[in-house]
Chains A and B, each alone.
Chain A
Amino acid sequence: MKKRSRNNSVRKLVTQLMTSNCGAGAVTRAESSMAACSVEDVLAKAERDEAERLKSISVVKELELEFDVGNLLALDKNPVELRGRSQDREELLRALARDNVQLLVNEIWKLPAERTDDVLVVKLPEASTKLPREKPLPKVRPPTKWEQFAKLKGIQKKKKTNLVWDEVHKEWRRRWGYKRAKDDTKEWLIEVPETADPSEDQFAKRNKAKKERVAKNEFNRLRNIARASKTPVAGLGLAPRAQQSKSELAQAVSVARTSTASVGKFQDRLPKEKAPRNTGKKRKFQPLLGDFGNEKQKQLEMLKVMETKKPRLDVTKAVNKQLREDEEEEGRTRRKKGSGKKGDRGKRGAAGGKGKGAKGSKGGKGARSTKGKGRGPHMKQGKR
């Protein structure tokens, strides 16, 4: 590119010279007089002009700057001397800045330019300054059971269309969700298959099957999450951070202490380490053999209490306590019902998938709550 421009400038100069010096003569005469003008002079003049023009954008520096064009950044390692009054200093700074910017701009202009929409745009290379990330790297999820199976069998994911043609309604409908193409639940007629029991409710059967499928899906999803999160995470204070509080360090020390084969029983205490407070036996039992006097005292006291007419239980207090508990229960169930009815049902369904025990407890709770609703006289028949 430079050569071409130089050639152009040389040609321009030559024509200028020809027309100015040698007059408007015939071409042949101009050519002969060109020899007199001397080609070397012309070329030398062209070079000098070029150099002068380049001088306006060239900057001389002791050390070359380090450029990071991807970030539009430049680092000038030359030593800077700022002396003098503040006015001079400003001027010095400005001159320094101008030189550095000129060098940076020269670098940027060296990149290939494209013209998009009437605008000159330069494609920037990758940034070379290494800047730290904002957040740590995302953890790689372990593949789910289905993903492992698919990889094993070589099953690829097939891209499905968004809409499916529905024959019944004669229009395009979405594949699943609200107003879907083939909605099982909206059927008003289900043929009873020959093998089935005639008194069986086919609609209920379909509903139950769907509920079971939903519960199974939820269960599998939770199991996948559990499997994914099974990677052991160090507890609080064990993974080193920048600033750790006293309690975190103490916890780390106690965990380190008990991580021996005999759970820290024979571990010597450090000079300034304090004994742990919450350890030791949690329940104390009376010895089986020994002094019976204490036991005798206790039994006699119990008999005395049983003899008195005064009831141990304050009935009014107990009833109030029970009522308060019931109110709290109702409040909770009403809030739950108001926010997510389906969620609650889903949870109960999931519990059914997991185990009978959980189902029983949830069922019991539900029963109690409805009974409570009927009992309280001041309860409003609110939202159902």
Chain B
Amino acid sequence: MAHLDGVVKPKTKRSKRFLDHRAPKLLENSKNAMIMKGGNTSETVTQALKDIVIKIPFSFITNLLLLFLSQEFFSKKTDCSLFLFGSHNKKRPNNLVFGRMFDFHVLDMFEMGIEKFTALKNIKNEKCAEGTKPMLIFAGELFDVDNEYSRLRNVLTDFFRGPVVPAVRLAGLEHILHFTAADGKIFMRSYRVLLKKSGCRTPRIELEEIGPSFDFVLRRTHLASDDLYKTAHKQPKGLKPKKKKNISHDTFGTKFGRLHMQKQNLDKLQTRKMKGLRKRRGAVVVENGGTTSPKKIKTQE
């Protein structure tokens, strides 16, 4: 497609749909993650990346040499706003960089070193199905108190959250990712949840370790500036549900509406014409005696 003034004009319905899918929208798509291997990666890092690919839905894995400029290009091409970059060199062994982007420019980046790593295949038991939405738990007061750690918590939530769903099947809550911040390290463990019978409705939880386990050390970070972070968080006004006025519900579920009328002139009100009640010539004689004056009935003629 030729570029006219930097704007691509779609020629078919299909390409138009494709562009609309990638255009900025009110309600956004789930974020895709791009997983890249640097020029020199050790066995640990490769295995770690491969394990994480399984964890995160919608991820692409590429073998990309270190060019950071083309990283933006790649993210634009594949429409990915999260990236995970693995590398290994003497100064920074077993390095993983978790990052996310806003408008295809880097927003936040966190460089973590892998101290200890147990791969998926090393832990021999039954794993849970790929693509289940995991539960995320962050433990440790550092995640709340420290600025960098709370931003890291945000980034990790973004990465591992999975697609946003309105409802979840109770029996399908199988997978849990547990992050602990202690002793200057971050321990990431992945467990499978077994719901055991307890006396009441809520089941008792038993955990079984599956999945890769990481001991991370936080190295360099690149946090977004405050105003950029604020711009990234701007929510559109249209998303707030519009409150419908003048509609109320009863305790029985009946829906009530409310009409606002203008002031009516009751003198000139048009009502039904009841012929029998019309004024007749002569007074009406009451049985009990005594005549009463003919009753004046207000009818409109």
Contact = CB atoms under 8 A, between A and B. Distances in A.
Interface in B148-185: 153-154, 157-158, 161, 164-171, 173, 176, 178, 180-183
B166 A124 contact: yes
Interface string A101-120: 11011101100011000011
A119 B233 CA distance: 36
Given A72-B135, A97-B176, A134 B206 contact: no
B97 interface: no
A50 B135 contact: no
B224 interface: yes
B55 to A, nearest CB: 14
B102 interface: yes
A131 B199 contact: no
A121 interface: yes
B267 interface: no
A138 B25 contact: yes
A105 B137 CA distance: 11
Nearest to B138: A75
Q: Most chain-A Cβ atoms within 10 A of its Cβ — which of B139, B164, B182, B234?
A: B139
Contacts of A206: none
A35 interface: no
Given A101-B137, A123-B166, A132 B102 contact: yes
A127 B157 CA distance: 11
A176 to B, nearest CB: 15
A97 B178 contact: yes
Interface string A231-251: 000000000011000000000
A134 B81 CA distance: 6
B232 A122 contact: no
Contact of B102 (A79, A81, A96, A133): A133
Nearest to B234: A137
A81 B161 CA distance: 27
Contact of B200 (A57, A77, A100, A131): A57
A98 B206 contact: yes
Contacts of B103: 135-136
B198 interface: yes
B198 A57 contact: yes
Contacts of B134: 72
Interface string B182-195: 11000101010101
Interface in A51-66: 52-54, 56-57, 66
A96 B181 CA distance: 12
Contact of A242 (B105, B182, B200, B202): B105
Contacts of A54: 199-200
Contact of A129 (B157, B189, B206): B157
Contacts of A74: 135-138
| A interface, over-half SS | mixed
B78 interface: no
Interface residues of A, number: 57
Contacts of B209: 94
Interface string B121-135: 000000000000111
Interface in A28-86: 49-50, 52-54, 56-57, 66, 71-82
B139 A78 contact: yes
B100 interface: yes
A120 B170 contact: yes
Given A93-B187, A104-B135, A53 B199 contact: yes
A310 interface: no
Interface string B228-242: 110111111000000
B39 interface: no
Contact of A100 (B137, B203, B232): B137
B23 A138 contact: yes
B180 A96 contact: yes
B236 to A, nearest CB: 5
B168 A121 contact: yes
A131 B158 contact: yes
Contacts of B199: 49-50, 52-54, 56
Interface of B: 23-26, 28-29, 31, 81, 100-103, 105-107, 133-141, 143-144, 153-154, 157-158, 161, 164-171, 173, 176, 178, 180-183, 187, 189, 191, 193, 195, 198-207, 209, 224-225, 228-229, 231-236
Report the 9 A-B pairs with minimum CB-CB distance, sorted nearest first. Answer: A53-B199, A132-B232, A135-B24, A76-B139, A80-B182, A97-B178, A109-B202, A72-B135, A134-B81
Given A53-B198, A120-B169, 5 more contacts: A79-B140, A80-B141, A80-B181, A122-B170, A242-B224
